[in-house]
Structure 1
């Protein structure tokens, strides 16, 4: 029996990217991403919010939160961290739950980086890499660009104080 034919899909059709620059230093942006008590203040575009945030910040560590909408919507999110580089990079995925239990409803892997530019500003890059083109299109239709932009603005406002 011949080996299965690989599924070809360019990363560009499975990836959504937000790149922004700010005067907020990487250490503060990273702190916003890694402090459970701060998440509800910025992570979702208002009037959405998160609750019950749990973080075990290490490669293989568990993450959990519930996204809540203004009309009583509730979306639990579980995943694991794949890579943590303090003040530089956070990689997480919903492909697994705690203890590397596979998630049958996997959606994407997130890669967030914080880079100091020669100007002294911080370049913030958030990438959402999806398992399929269809999942990427769904995330785009859900409002990735506007939602993640609003969350970034809320993070900057919070961490500027």
Structure 2
């Protein structure tokens, strides 16, 4: 179920992926899979540290155009094969982040033909942050990530 959305602060992308839900879930919850899809190529993920439980860490390190970006976050909700919610507003141990950007809500549902209806919501604290995220290329970037996720997950099916 999609939560109430506020168009002033929320961005949403929904796609049907040609891979089963359990594989899409595994890709999002197992550190070995994250580097294969999590940022649009040619950028890359260089480190992942996951503690998959409410209050557990979801930390990633990216390399974007030669710049290293550390992202620390925490899981707010984990419903196996259905929903992941994580945020950079806190780090593990509920330590507040100095400059939070967003909360991500990922929804996974069965789609016709054995695929997955994949919904990614980026919820922002302020309309200005939402606008900045959209201007940074939310739809293209998260769309590319969804395509990379689908391609990678389909490769796991063989």
- Normalized against structure 2, the TM-score is what? 0.91
Counterpart of 2:23? 28
- Normalized against structure 1, the TM-score is what? 0.89
Whole-Å Cα distance in 1 between the matches of residues 116 and 130 of structure 2?
27
RMSD: 1.3
What is the deviation of 1:108? Answer: 0.6
Q: Alpha-carbon deviations, 1:95-137, whole Å to 9, x = none?
A: 1012111011101100001111355432100000000001101
What is the deviation of 1:78? Answer: 0.4
User: Number of paired residues?
Assistant: 151
Whole-Å Cα distance in 2 between the matches of residues 68 and 138 of structure 1?
20
Gaps in structure 2 of 5+ consecutive residues: none
Structure 1 stretches of 4+ moved >6 Å: none
Gaps in structure 1 of 5+ consecutive residues: 1-9
**Superposition pairs of residues 101-120 of structure 1, within 5 angstroms:** 101-117=95-111, 120=114
Pair 1:138–1:121, CA change in 2 (3 A) = same
1:92 corresponds to 2:86: yes
Counterpart of 2:46? 51
Whole-Å Cα distance in 2 between the matches of residues 107 and 66 of structure 1?
16
Name the larger-Rg structure: 1
Whole-Å Cα distance in 2 between the matches of residues 124 and 158 of structure 1?
15
Counterpart of 2:118? 124
1:66 corresponds to 2:66: no
Equivalent residue of 1:60, what SS? Answer: coil
